[in-house]
Structure 1
């Protein structure tokens, strides 16, 4: 993580709610991250929050609300966040368990490692484009990330770019969501990548600088559009992920070799942590009678903490454990703490001047738009094709399907309504994707998590609802196979 320190430790057989902690640890702003292996044997990570950071009921409620908000975003089709498997309390400490590794991060890849290819300007543009799209979706949901920096931008298997720790920093500090802070941090990330990964390509570096300026002056959507419009200045591979995938893979191999070559003796257990599997482990995500997750109180529980308890490991016979293992989360989000508060109202005089300025600006923009429309009639947006891309046809234990959809249009600007249909019976959710003019291909994504033992064939259909040519069905479908023994 950026600003943190990396050490290689051997945690031995320490387990936490079915997770085995092993390998690399790194220190971030919120606590210590551990490389881990999940209950299914898949690579994962665990974040141990700083001692005392989540000790109060209010802080716990805010952290739980942030995690549940992430699950709601994932259920709606957003695939740009590191998925959270659970949030647990053990021996007075609070741990966040992820379903995928929270590394390597952009911060990791900014360092030099022998045998690891250095990311190029195309990789930098891919990171910026995908994080911008994720942040725009988060902001549209009335939320914010709160801590965008190289240490929270993760390169997942397959070169997919994910954001980690969404909302957690704001929750711990009791801050309301501030999208403008995300935009400023994203612009800083763009400038940093221009000076590092794009340093050998002056034209591409100049484009990234323009993108950062556009974010600062005109917002994240304008910055993303500026980046895509300047793709001719980028390496020919953009926006494919082959090089980024190879870089992340080589980094992981190098990290594993380093751990094997320079083992560090197992640390002495801290007070209260001896035998992590012994004693109670409490999940802070309550599974209610209706299948949804909520925070609440029960006999013997503190505010925001539930009485769903696990002893050694995760007993498979409990309802909570089955849902935890199977990944059948249904999130119910509750507004808590400072996230729902507004700042003080400005003085009446300033409100009047602001309103007057807004009216004048609106009239100017409306006049300009009307003049342009009278001069150049624009054709209405129409979607003419859809294609589903499944990068991996066969998935192994713990892997998730990162599915992409490519929508082909006539190049006009507007809004596309579409939905994903899954063969597992999951209820489809309609989505709206706003596209700029001048481009004929637009990408949407879906993340499909499959957990547990056995063989499963999944089929996903991308269906465009509007705008489509009269009487035509614009859709496509693809299948994949999940095998876990």
Structure 2
């Protein structure tokens, strides 16, 4: 149905059914379901099983006993202690032998093998005896002769346990006559020491 208004515009109205004015439909009230108490499905001896696939802990098939700690006898502890002390003493001795004090010179003497001195056209054997403390090491020395000559610097290796080192000087004489000779050992290291001996070369010859 339409009427003409003063403006001359067409106007139309639509009648809505009553179902357009109804509110949202009521939903049924939700009901909370209380969980039922779990009930085991079977009982096997002292083991209760709940539901399929769930296995409770099985009791031990035999009693488990824990043995008390055995107390060691006093004699065993003493034996172990004595062995440890002996081992430590041996290790300390070996360490002292290897890393202990170095070689030390206690004294030096020089003499000829023949107290009478060399004869005509012969060689005098002059021997220096160096006394040490028995430790391993190296002696450094030189020989000085009374004729104005001297040797180069020499070395002598002293092994462990040896308390004496013998150093030799061979001095050769030739010709007729008499010569008062002196041989001197100069120890350079360890420490500085000097020792000397005197002897006479005598060769009368034939006139």
> Structure 2-normalised TM-score?
0.49
Structure showing greater Rg:
2
> Structure 1-normalised TM-score?
0.22
* Higher-helix-fraction structure: 1
* Higher-strand-fraction structure: 2
